[in-house]
Chain A
Amino acid sequence: MTADLQPFRLASGGLIDRTQPLTFHFGGRAYTGYRGDTLASALLANGVRLLGRSFKYHRPRGILGAGVEEPNALVQLGSGDRSMPNVRATEIELFDGLTAKPVNCWPNARFDIGGINNLFANFLNAGFYYKTFMWPSWRLYEWAIRKAAGLGTVPNLPDPDRYENRYAHCDVLVIGAGPAGLAAARTAAATGARVMLVEQDAELGGSLNWTHGRIDGMSSRQWAAQSADMLDAAPEVTVLKRTAAVGYFDHNMLTLVERLAWDPAVLARDGQASCCLWQVRARQVILATGAIERPIAFAGNDRPGVMLASAVSQFVARYAVAPGRRAVLFANNDEAYAAAFGLLEAGVHIEAVVDPRPVPADFAAALTARNVRLFGEAVVCDTKGYKQLSAVQIRDNSGKTRWLACDLLAVSGGFNPTVHLFSQSGGTLRYDEQQAMFRPGVSRQPVISAGAAAGTMDLAAGLVEGHRAALASTRTAGVSGPGDAPLADPARPVQPIAPLWNVGGGKSKAFVDFQHDVSVSDIALARQESFVSVEHLKRYTTLGMAADQGKTSNVNALAIMASLTGRSIQDTGTTRYRFPFTPVPLGCFRGPATGDLFRPLRRMPGHACHAAYDAVFEDFGGWLRPAYYPLPGETAHAAEQREARLVRTQVGLFEGSPLGKIEVKGADAGKFLDLIYANTMSTLKAGRCRYGLMLNEQGVIIDDGVTAKLADDHYLVGTTGAGADRIAAWLEEWLQCEWLDLDVIVAPVSTSWGVLTISGPAAREVLRKAGTDFPVEAGDFPHMSFREGHVAGIRARVFRVSYTGEVSYEVNVPASRVAELWQALIIAGEADGIRPVGVDGWMVLRTEKGYLHVGADTDGTTSPLDVGWGHVLKKKNDFVGKRSLLRPNDQSASRLQLVGLRALDGAAALPIGSHIVPRAGEEGSGGYVTSSSLSPTLGRGVALAMLIGGQRRLGETVMVIAERGQRPAEVVELAAYDPSGERLNA
């Protein structure tokens, strides 16, 4: 049973832990691997090379790379609510019990119904969706296209994982812990600077984990391990592994995503988070992000068994896996030959090495000695093997071809420095013709690139660059640095690369973007259709738009387009690099702000009092407020009606604490308020209140409220609950930016004071019984006045103002004493039947009175003239918005104006939001119902509406569009109840 487990695992070597065997499932079958494997390396060890089917053509695909650049080996990881689509098998750290499935194939990767697409490949080329599936209507095809779209599946269940957000500042942020990054981090750490080292892999070392070199007299692996130990010991150094730097923003702010666990058994533990999103601000950034190898385009270059040469090296050296038994190397550069020597070391047979250049002499000698056939000045031009590579076709300079049997083709077209973050930072790139790569050019922020990320492929030079980058960074950070650069053995002289983007010829498609199935012929098609800009090429073909974001395809594509259009690669340029560098789970962005924390609601100081009366709470403008207090068995509507009726007949108790309260004090307080309000406040007498409208400079109503005057230099401004913070900021803005010379200060006190309102014919009696140290008789405390003193022994500011139309007292006490006041009022009002009233009932009362509610009866265009406040035009002094009211459009008679509506066909309330049928000649809507309630007092519906030219149409009948048909309604005055205000002034 165990005999042929992991048939492709090498007998020794690798950074895996052979003492920790792990069991996992892929595509329904069980396999074993080791701790230290990725899912990809474990699958290769088991001889699984067919990982899935491609997006469009459903071609069999295998593993191409060994890291984040992997375009093919996407899997659906896990099941149930933790199932994750499109995770790269090359990035998943193997754990015991891992389960994964291939994507985009059914019933499985080996036999996939979707493979039929391959037969129609000629009709499915780039841009086909712009030209097909249109007749007779695209909607017919939508269902099928949606089903076919995408690769994996997203679970329908809520994400059970925890995500954290963290923030950090540092002197030096080093991205990448390969040789250059480690050299930089060591040097920076030695200066005592605060250093953060970020590495997306589970281990530090980067390429040192799968190459053989010597640094400072020890093996490169030992040096990496020594570096890791040094950094762990340094107190001002933070090392983050499994952490990808995904975005580079303004002023050296970078976003990192740290993966904390893969295993669902670990994720399910209490308090375990799955990812942490870091936002780091660094004085200096060092980018040591390495380089990503690029493939070459040739016919059939996408078969399972075709891999990047550096990936082959990684699987052999780091994971002790032979990716095949019979290999061919096809490379145009010296670095890739390491893959051939690595395979030979591991005992894998190499059939041939193919190089469009002459094979470098020292390599030729070494390879010939190992019986490897050499084909210099030749290329691979085609392949065979549908589900697994079986042969490659080689073509030499004279055009002669031959086939060679093999099951592994290691390809290298060169390397692309990973310049994504550098580019995001605003830096420009320059194309190096000698090395055939884009390299960092001019920086726009404090950032230095080092090592392969800067285009320095040589190990010794990369170490020096990292060291120097750290010296430069710490000098600028104000810390002085010591020491020498780490010393690597000098490298052999390198034969220049021969750029090779597209081989040409061959029967099959030559792929450029594997994940989106974009081929060379698609690029040619784009050129033919004049989409020659790289940004157009990208959108037209979808090349570079998949989850891998073109890491192995972008440069190849633009180089091919350059040659097709006769431009240089520098002139052709790259598409814009954008955040994120690698995919980020959405949960990272919401962090802890989920569930109850998604939108925290504010509780009023009297919250417990309402709960004790079984209040049903709802979100009103960000505050949790009682909508109604149902008696046992009572419906919401019945409760609302009962509570409203209670206020009209006896007395109700309502908490108005969210109301805005702003102290305005100073010699110019009155002058300032006259500028801010559409009406005049300075003429108030001390102890009196006035209702006011505030406008913006467009003349639009932004808030309303009651302001009280305490003294000539002291006012209390009231705002709506939703406007409390906004209006306080508004007042400050005018004082700080426009009228700097006014002698006035503004202090928001909205949450310092709680408000309990008693309203109804018995309200005065309740206030008397509660006890005050000021007289409350009608003559002593008239409507629209203000008293300061004590109520029920509690320090209070009392406003006799009304939103209900009955005698009302808004009693403001320090917020901490609201519950105390509540008890006192309940007791004082017991004989008069006092009970709490919710927001629903409160809204019925104000609608009966025709009192507007900003934001319901007004919108972003409503001016005071529209709500019957034409008198503001008579105000002599300036106020915010005044000039706008003088514009012709603001004075037009055909504007929407606020009116009352009374249904003529019965007692039922008119539907809120219903449109009114326009008159002849009017276009679109004639207006709409803005507020509507059933009045328990009048026994019928009451409504307010915005109606075109409404102020001149009293008595007219209009048609309101209802759910079924239309309802006739008469245009009436705003106040349906007590229009003369008798009850108010009682």
Chain B
Amino acid sequence: MLLIECPWCGPRDEHEFHCGGQSHIQRPGPAESVSDAQWAGYLFDRLNPRGAHAERWVHQYGCGRWFNMVRDTTTHQILAIYQMHEPCPVPSDKGAGL
């Protein structure tokens, strides 16, 4: 069970949060100018690194605010927590996978 430091509420148990998956995904638009491949990429392509992963979380059963986190997918060490609008301080491992 991860111990997550909500930027507003402090350290709380993982149960209070919901993970929104990979962060810093750019929503392409306007719709008419987006190719099928680009749109499919936005919907389905995700990094799957063995190592640092930038993802977004929401304190669902607390303050309800979203924030960003960089988490190591193998050790579950939390490397960084920062606001939704801030840039990622620790780049995700590009992760060639296995």
**A interface residue numbers (CB < 8 A to B):** 249-253, 279, 281, 426, 444, 697-698, 729, 732-733, 736-738, 740, 878, 882-884, 886-888
Contacts and interface: CB of A to CB of B under 8 A. Distances in A.
Contacts of A249: 1
A884 B29 CA distance: 12
30 contacts: A249-B1, A250-B1, A250-B3, A251-B1, A251-B2, A252-B3, A253-B1, A253-B13, A279-B1, A281-B3, A281-B13, A426-B75, A444-B75, A698-B43, A729-B64, A732-B58, A733-B20, A733-B66, A736-B58, A736-B65, A736-B66, A736-B84, A737-B56, A740-B85, A878-B29, A878-B30, A884-B43, A886-B31, A887-B36, A887-B39
A878 B2 CA distance: 38
A883 B39 contact: yes
Interface string B19-41: 01000000111111010100100
Interface in B40-62: 42-43, 56, 58, 60
A737 B56 CA distance: 9
Between A732, A736, A738, A888, the greatest number of chain B beta carbons within 10 A of the residue's beta carbon is seen for A736
Contacts of A887: 36, 39
A245 B29 CA distance: 53
Contacts of B27: 738
Given A251-B2, A729-B58, A740-B85, 11 more contacts: A250-B14, A252-B3, A729-B64, A733-B66, A736-B65, A737-B56, A878-B29, A878-B31, A883-B28, A884-B39, A884-B43
Contact of B76 (A250, A698, A732, A737): A250
B31 A882 contact: yes
Interface of B: 1-3, 13-14, 20, 27-32, 34, 36, 39, 42-43, 56, 58, 60, 64-66, 75-76, 84-85
B43 A697 contact: yes
B66 to A, nearest CB: 4
Contact of B60 (A729, A737, A884): A729
A278 B75 CA distance: 24
A250 B2 contact: yes
Residue among B30, B31, B42, B64 facing the most chain A CB atoms (10 A cut-off): B31
Nearest to B76: A250
A579 to B, nearest CB: 12
Contacts of B66: 732-733, 736-737
Nearest to B64: A732
Nearest to A880: B27
A611 B30 CA distance: 53
Nearest to A740: B85
Listed from nearest, the 5 A-B pairs whose CB atoms lie closest are: A251-B3, A883-B31, A736-B66, A253-B1, A250-B76
A201 B89 CA distance: 48
A888 B40 CA distance: 13
A740 B68 CA distance: 14
A738 B25 CA distance: 9
Nearest to A877: B30
B26 to A, nearest CB: 10
Contacts of B29: 878, 883
A337 B3 CA distance: 47
Contact of A251 (B30, B31, B76): B76
A737 to B, nearest CB: 5
Contact of A740 (B36, B64, B84): B84
B39 A733 contact: no
A178 B3 CA distance: 30
Contacts of A697: 42-43
Nearest to B60: A729
Contacts of A251: 1-3, 76
Nearest to A725: B60
B43 to A, nearest CB: 6
Nearest to B40: A887
* Most chain B beta-carbon neighbours within 10 Å: one of A249, A251, A729, A883: A883
Contacts of B76: 250-251
A882 B14 CA distance: 34
Contacts of B84: 736-737, 740
Contacts of B2: 250-251
Contacts of A740: 84-85
A279 B42 CA distance: 39
A648 B30 CA distance: 47
Contacts of A888: 36
A725 B78 CA distance: 29
Contacts of A444: 75
Nearest to B42: A697
A888 B34 CA distance: 14
Contacts of A253: 1, 3, 13
Nearest to A255: B1
A883 B33 CA distance: 10
Given A253-B1, A737-B66, A883 B34 contact: yes
Contacts of A884: 39, 43
A279 B15 CA distance: 13
A454 to B, nearest CB: 22
A888 B43 CA distance: 16
Nearest to B1: A253
Nearest to A741: B85
Most buried by B among A251, A698, A887, A888: A251
B86 to A, nearest CB: 11
Contacts of A250: 1-3, 14, 76
Contacts of B32: 886
A250, A737, A882, A888 interface centre (most CB from chain B within 10 Å)? A737
A444 B72 CA distance: 12
Contacts of A279: 1
A284 to B, nearest CB: 14
B7 to A, nearest CB: 12
Contacts of A698: 43
Contacts of A426: 75
Contacts of B20: 733, 737
Contacts of B75: 426, 444
Nearest to A728: B64
A198 B34 CA distance: 60
Contacts of B3: 250-253, 281
A755 B64 CA distance: 26
A747 to B, nearest CB: 11
A110 to B, nearest CB: 48
Nearest to B23: A737
Nearest to B33: A883
Nearest to B35: A883
A393 to B, nearest CB: 50
B69 to A, nearest CB: 13
Nearest to A253: B1
A410 B34 CA distance: 76
A878 B28 CA distance: 11
A189 to B, nearest CB: 24
Contacts of B14: 250
Contacts of B36: 887-888
Given A250-B2, A883-B39, A733 B31 contact: no
Contacts of B56: 737
A882 B30 CA distance: 10
A252 B13 CA distance: 12
A888 B42 CA distance: 17
A950 to B, nearest CB: 26
